[in-house]
Amino acid sequence: MWIDLDKTEIATILAATSEPSIVAKLMPSAEHPDAGAFIEAADRFSNYLHVEDDAVFERTRNGAYVMGWLWVPNQLAGFDELNDFDDYDISRECRELLEAVHHFDVETLDVHSKTELGEGSLDGFRWTLLLEENNLLLSIRAQDQSLSWSYTETRSTDGDDASSVGVTDERCLRFMLEAIGHFRSRSG
């Protein structure tokens, strides 16, 4: 098992125990002189392998073990390939929030559309993003296409057209993140 602890957490644990096996595992050891070269080589090994700069490292006679993170694509595990949000004009923070949401995919999103802005899937349901009276509305439908749940943006900009209220990729996707939170809290 791997547990990532920062220096403060390690110090707290060390202050609370004198168990030799725990102390030995948590005490920082001197870095091996070859560690940097092997860690860099491991990080270049594959586009699917990510190695931290301070990776766990164990030198052997003819090589070394370097701990890394293996990235496995959805398709290899039997899941659908999902949108990576690269085509949308959104902040890095918004992209990171979206990438953390599992079982959510945006198949289309067109902020210049008059009413139906986008559609996709969420937790096995179909969703549609609409613009009604300058407010965003996310409707989620069951398999039989009957309305299961909807969530409306609370802000109102009466009298303005859609372009003047700033219907943007960022606004739409952040609204959907908020709606997904409400949807999952009511169904979970």
Whether residue 86 contacts residue 64, with contact meaning beta carbons closer than 8 Å, is answered with no
- Interatomic CA distance for residues 34 and 31, integer angstroms: 8
Q: How many helices (H) and strands (E) does the chain have?
A: 5, 9
Write down the pLDDT at residue 162. Answer: 42
**pLDDT, mean of residues 74-100:** 86
Whether residue 67 contacts residue 56, with contact meaning beta carbons closer than 8 Å, is answered with yes
Each residue's pLDDT tens digit, 96-106: 999 889 889 99
**Which segment of 3-7, 49-53, 148-152 scores lowest on mean pLDDT?**
3-7
In the structure, what pLDDT confidence band is assigned to residue 109 with cuts at 50, 70 and 90? Answer: very high
- Interatomic CA distance for residues 26 and 41, integer angstroms: 26
Six token digits for residue 78: 């039997």
Six token digits for residue 4: 């990532």
Please name which of 98, 87, 100, 103 lies closest in space to residue 176, comparing C-alpha atoms: 98
**pLDDT, mean of residues 134-156:** 82
Interaxial angle between packed helices 169-187 and 92-99, expressed in degrees from 0 to 180 and rounded to the nearest 10:
30
Burial code (b: 16+ CB inside 10 Å, e: under 16) for 105-131 equals ebeebebeeeeebbbbbbeebbbbbbb
Mean of pLDDT over the chain:
86
In the structure, what pLDDT confidence band is assigned to residue 27 with cuts at 50, 70 and 90? Answer: confident
Alpha helical stretches, state H, 89-134: 92-99
- Which bin fits 103, alpha (ψ -120 to 50), beta or left (φ > 0)? left
**Percent of the chain at pLDDT above 90?**
43
Other residues' Cβ atoms within 10 Å of the Cβ of residue 83 = 16
Coil/strand/helix, residue 13: helix
